[in-house]
Amino acid sequence: MVLDIHLADGISFDIFSRVSIDKPIIFTTAYSEYAIKAFDVNSVDYLLKPIGMDDLKKAIDKFKKFNPVDNHKVLENISNAYQQLPKQYKSRFMVKIGQSIDSIRSENIIHFQTNDGLTFLLTENGKRYPIDYTLDQLESLMSPDDFFRINRKVILSISSISKVSTYLNGRLIISSPYLNGDESIVSRERVYDFKNWLDK
């Protein structure tokens, strides 16, 4: 059984005070403080959101060791449950400012950019911070409703776009703060998807 700790009407641990459940459980949550309590109630594993496929596979393997019967059906049920979990996207980034560490919220980011093998995030007030992610990684970490990769160098926030214009060879050019030259051009192979993204 896969069970989220935080439910719409309370915390799932309340269920165990009312009903006896003897099935092993994989708990999911965005909060680490319930880990000890989870293992008091038949927990096989405790997965923090966003849940990675590697972590889920390890939890299932652990379940299979203790429950060898009907593994195929259980695996199928858990896989189906995982597919139904709402996707959790990255909401903030830790950045270094001098000797200090700060947290930048995703809604304050206007774009991500790669330059000479380094990746930077740029905030709405024009500040630029290096981060330890590639653009390929960021594409899956950021909400696709809010961010789009316009070319091989830039992932852009929809909130930062002030104007979109046609450009040479079927491409588009974006007016957005702190983007210049080729950085602001939507590559030809991304134009169709970009238009659909704007039209959501």
| pLDDT tens for each residue of 7-52 | 445 554 455 556 555 666 666 665 555 444 545 555 556 566 666 7
Q: Which domains are delineated in the chain?
A: 2-84 (no CATH), 92-198 (2.40.50.40)
Cα–Cα distance for residue pair 24/181, rounded to 1 Å: 56
3-state secondary structure (DSSP) of residue 41: coil
Confidence band (pLDDT; 50, 70, 90) for 200?
confident
Dihedrals phi, psi of 88, to nearest 5 degrees: -100, 125
The overall average pLDDT reported for the chain is 79
Look at residues 103, 59, 108 and name the one whose alpha carbon lies nearest to residue 79.
59
Look at residues 92, 95, 133 and name the one whose alpha carbon lies nearest to residue 109.
92
